[in-house]
Chains A and B, each alone.
Chain A
Amino acid sequence: MTHKSIAALLAAGALATLWSTRVGTPIQVGQGAGEAAQASGSGVLVFDLKDDIDDDALAAFAARHGLTLGLSDPSSRDEALFRADVSDRAAVIAATRDDPAVELVEPVVRMQALGYPDDPLFEKQWNLTQIGAERGWRAGAGRGVTVAVLDTGVSPVEDLAGIDLTEGHAFVPGVDSALDDHGHGTHVAGTIAQATHNGKGVAGVAPRVRVVPYKVLAARGGGSSDRIAAAIDHAVDAGVDIINLSLGGPPSAVLTKAADAAAEAGVLVVAAAGNSGGRGLGSPADGHLVIAVGATGPDGTKAPYSTFGTGVEIAAPGGDTRKEGGGILQDTINPADGGHAYKAFQGTSMAAPHVSGALAVLLGMGIAPGAAVDVLFRSAIDVGDDGFDEVYGHGRIDLGAAVDRVVWHDRLPRFVAGLLLAAALGLGLGFAPGRWLVMALMGGWAAGGLFFLGWLPISPGGGLAWLTLDPLRLAGGLFGPGWTHSAVFAAAWIPAGVAFVFGLNKRLAPWVSGFALGCGVSLLSGGLDGTLAPLGGSSVWLFAHSAVCVLGAVAVAGALRMDYSA
């Protein structure tokens, strides 16, 4: 078989792979959180003791069981979270689990060999484990996405240090700052974007997003429909990607219209379903285009307070503070002393930011808003009645399964197609193995990113994580949030520019050609399956720029080939 025959076969395979992304594949329903590691032998145990345990009772408990206890973190005294090194974990668990001072005892579970994340209170964030947040951190953690949090404001408490938090805007009479004077908004923002793997406190769903606070609720937690509607309009004009509304009230045509208009403008609008425990959504959750979120407790089923009815689209952990450790833990302000505190809240207010964070992660992977919602709905775990129901909507979110779905149904076909097409071009032109292999690898990376590196224990935003992003997305990210879904980057400018500048360099030409071809595949794939949607989802734009990329790749490789012949 000649080189050209092999190249033709590779090219055919690549196109077939790309086409397969268009016809779709069966929905994979994700699995829930795994069981905790079994305890055996020596090791570290974590003791979640009664929150009100005093020092005397603590000393007595330690003496009863011969334990040397240390705080899990200097800030974890209020939550009574302690660690102890023991020689026989199983024996100590058996001896202490029924002690009246103990709420929970279990081995410290390392989420990865490198202790990831290292936020000491992550062990109490059952909600993040339940939704598979870790896979989201390894898939970009929402980099390049902007989330507006309309709430009581957001204050830069200690554990939020280092996240991308803007000053925001105030829509409360007599208030000129978007700082939080209640605690609710900072808690909500923390669930979305809490600094993660910073060795401190707790983690969040999408720690790389930009958070824009909008203070629409006053210090006592109340606000009015017209000002919330005005804040929504402002956020849309400011170009945010997602609006989180952990608030609600009675039916309001003005507010619901503003929320639906935001969604029509391409912004994902996420709203809490309500805490009445009964049927019937208020505004803005009742908007036809609004993603209304119901709440589940630690057992994954409906929280008793969660409002249900027509319009509930999906469910997420909202917590149940009546159960020990059942609340949603986050860092927030402590109005009593002006400092901060780790507090466990419950409510559909807490459920909505899980969905906003999950959508941010999916948008950050480079897919269009509509595709992100579709993926999240399709990968939700069906709870309650079979199929869609008015309590859980499409089910309880499973971000891990959603990320997998994007990777295996979107990124992998693109990666393979880019790899095969670039290899086919190099082989077809009779290049030596070194050259066409370089072209193939660049083609694969440019088309789909080295997504499989996302499974390696590397931190979000650090190490090699950027390699798992496709380069067009990566380039958009360099210019900050908002640019990554811009038509400027879902285009041929970058590969064409690279080809123009470096294409005639013999050493670089195979890299440049593979890169341009991979970018072309990425744009073609986005146009075929609708996962890229710049300029209002114009496939013509994407196909045209894909063609430019492919022509550039062929021109560079052809010039290199002619140089051989000359």
Chain B
Amino acid sequence: MSALDLEGTVARDDFGGPVLMLRTAGGQTWQLEGDVPPSLIGRRVRVRGAEAEAQFGFAMVGPVIAVQRIEALD
């Protein structure tokens, strides 16, 4: 599966379980899966990852990206 590089702001919400999201400047929302430090919530980040195999779930906020690396931009 090809790697994805994305930039945006990390947000957290709860839809029957906590959901971490990346909101891009273009208005798209991605669901972040994997190790995302809580300190990055609300901050602009760059994410490298790949589309997760399990794309379906109850979060339904957008495509699921399995995070391989995440770093703050601000």
Docked complex Cα distance between A217 and B57 (Å): 7
Within the complex, the shortest CB–CB distance from A171 to chain B, in Å, comes to: 11
Docked complex Cα distance between A346 and B60 (Å): 12
Determine if A255 is an interface residue (Cβ-Cβ < 8 Å).
yes
**Complex contact B16–A349 (CB within 8 A):** yes
Q: Beyond A248-B60, A274-B60, is A345–B52 a contact (Cβ under 8 Å)? A: no
**Complex contact A282–B60 (CB within 8 A):** yes
**Complex contact B17–A182 (CB within 8 A):** yes
Q: Which residues in A have their C-beta under 8 angstroms from that of B56?
A: 216-217, 222-225, 228, 247-249, 252, 255, 283
Q: Beyond A247-B60, A275-B61, is A222–B33 a contact (Cβ under 8 Å)? A: yes
Within the complex, the shortest CB–CB distance from B21 to chain A, in Å, comes to: 9
B35-74 toward A: CB 8 Å interface, digit per residue (1/0)? 0000000000000000011111111111110000000000
Within the complex, the shortest CB–CB distance from B29 to chain A, in Å, comes to: 5
Determine if A278 is an interface residue (Cβ-Cβ < 8 Å).
yes
B1-44 toward A: CB 8 Å interface, digit per residue (1/0)? 00000000000011111010000000101000100000000000
**Complex contact A221–B57 (CB within 8 A):** yes
Docked complex Cα distance between A283 and B14 (Å): 21
Q: Which residues in A have their C-beta under 8 angstroms from that of B52?
A: 222
Docked complex Cα distance between A220 and B58 (Å): 10
Closest to B52 in A: A222
Q: How many residues of A contact B (CB 8 A)?
A: 40
Q: Which residues in B have their C-beta under 8 angstroms from that of A272?
A: 58, 60
Within the complex, the shortest CB–CB distance from B5 to chain A, in Å, comes to: 19
Closest to A226 in B: B56
**Complex contact A350–B16 (CB within 8 A):** yes
Determine if A146 is an interface residue (Cβ-Cβ < 8 Å).
no
Docked complex Cα distance between A327 and B55 (Å): 26
Total contacts A-B at CB 8 Å: 95
**Complex contact B55–A347 (CB within 8 A):** no
A320-350 toward B: CB 8 Å interface, digit per residue (1/0)? 0100000000000000000000000111111
Q: Which residues in A have their C-beta under 8 angstroms from that of B63?
A: 250
Contact partner of A345 among B15, B60, B61, B64, CB < 8 A? B15
Q: Beyond A223-B56, A249-B55, is A321–B14 a contact (Cβ under 8 Å)? A: yes
Q: Beyond A250-B63, A282-B60, is A275–B15 a contact (Cβ under 8 Å)? A: yes
Within 8 A of B (CB), among A341-376: 345-350
Closest to A151 in B: B58
Determine if A392 is an interface residue (Cβ-Cβ < 8 Å).
no
**Complex contact A183–B57 (CB within 8 A):** no
Contact partner of A221 among B27, B53, B58, B62, CB < 8 A? B58
Docked complex Cα distance between A556 and B27 (Å): 73
Within the complex, the shortest CB–CB distance from A279 to chain B, in Å, comes to: 10
Closest to B17 in A: A221
**Complex contact A307–B58 (CB within 8 A):** no
Within the complex, the shortest CB–CB distance from B64 to chain A, in Å, comes to: 7
Q: Which residues in A have their C-beta under 8 angstroms from that of B64?
A: 222, 249
Docked complex Cα distance between A282 and B27 (Å): 16
Q: Which 10 A-B pairs have the closest CB atoms?
A: A222-B54, A249-B56, A347-B15, A184-B16, A274-B60, A248-B60, A249-B55, A345-B16, A221-B57, A275-B60
- CB<8 Å pairs between A and B, sample of 16: A151-B58, A182-B17, A183-B17, A217-B56, A218-B54, A220-B33, A223-B57, A225-B55, A247-B57, A248-B57, A275-B15, A305-B15, A345-B14, A346-B14, A346-B16, A349-B15
Which chain A residues have a beta carbon within 8 Å of chain B's beta carbons? Answer: 151-152, 182-184, 187, 216-218, 220-225, 228, 246-250, 252, 255, 272, 274-278, 282-283, 305, 307, 321, 345-350
